[in-house]
Amino acid sequence: MTSRGERSARGFALLACLFFIALACGVGYELGRIPARTQLGPELARLAVEHERLARELDAARQQVLILERDRTIERETVRVLQSRLEAAQDARLEQARELSYLKRLVQAGDKGAVRAHDLRLSAQPQPRRYGYDFLLTQLVDGVGQVEGRVVLVIEGVRGDEPARLRLDELSAEPATIDMDFEHYQHCSGWFMLPEGFAPQLVVIQIEPDGERLAATSASFPWPLELID
């Protein structure tokens, strides 16, 4: 027969086994839930990283669009300015061709010589509103001999809302006046400073020769026909 102590020991062992079985079941259940939670964690992290990458790419795309729009605006403005300058140069050449034809007829009709001003070039100088210039004077016909007289440089434009004409001798300029003294050609150069608020539109070169052998002439050049930085 089994003693009471042995039966108590067996009962205690049975209870212990049932306890460990229940504990094992609970742990197994919790362990079974862990993979579901641990699988969502990396996925959420990956999605967060992907979101940040897409946000950066979107910002970069927006910046690229802004750059392209700015470049297109600059390109359109450049084309507009170049077209405007080309039209001005074409108009100037046409006007000079008309003036040259007129001068030749004037010389032939009056049996006089004439001086032509041409190849005007303007250059922006470091000091604000200060410009350098140079141009050529040549005789239209040979055999006139020595040419003497004055050259009057006039800048026409707008000051405020009113048209204005500024002579070289009215400006801060070097030289203040241009004397003419040559037989075949003369190179003229110098600089002038425009007053603040004056918007130049046209440069007029007037030839005032001495004596009766030469006819007074003039040549007009739109601003800027050829402005060199």
Cα–Cα nearest to 144, from 198, 180, 196, 102: 180
Residue with tokens 């039966």: 7
DSSP-based three-state secondary structure for 111: coil
Quick one: which of 156, 163, 141 has its CA closest to 206?
156
Q: Is 29 exposed, middle or buried (0-12, 13-18, 19+ CB in 10 A)?
A: exposed
In this predicted structure, what is the pLDDT of residue 52? 78
pLDDT score for 102:
61
Write out residues in the chain with pLDDT < 50, as ranges: 1, 20, 23-24, 27, 31, 34, 36-37
Task: For tokens 């046209």, name the residue.
Answer: 202
Please tell me the predicted confidence (pLDDT) of residue 10.
57
Question: pLDDT tens, 40-54?
Answer: 566 666 667 777 777
Phi first, then psi, for residue 68 (nearest 5°) are: -65, -40
Whole-number Å distance between alpha carbons of 47 and 108:
90
For 55, counting Cβ atoms within 10 Å of its Cβ (0-12 exposed, 13-18 middle, 19+ buried), the class is exposed
Tell me how far apart the alpha carbons of residues 223 and 202 are, in angstroms, rounded to a whole number: 5
Give the integer Cα–Cα distance in Å for 92 and 100.
Answer: 12
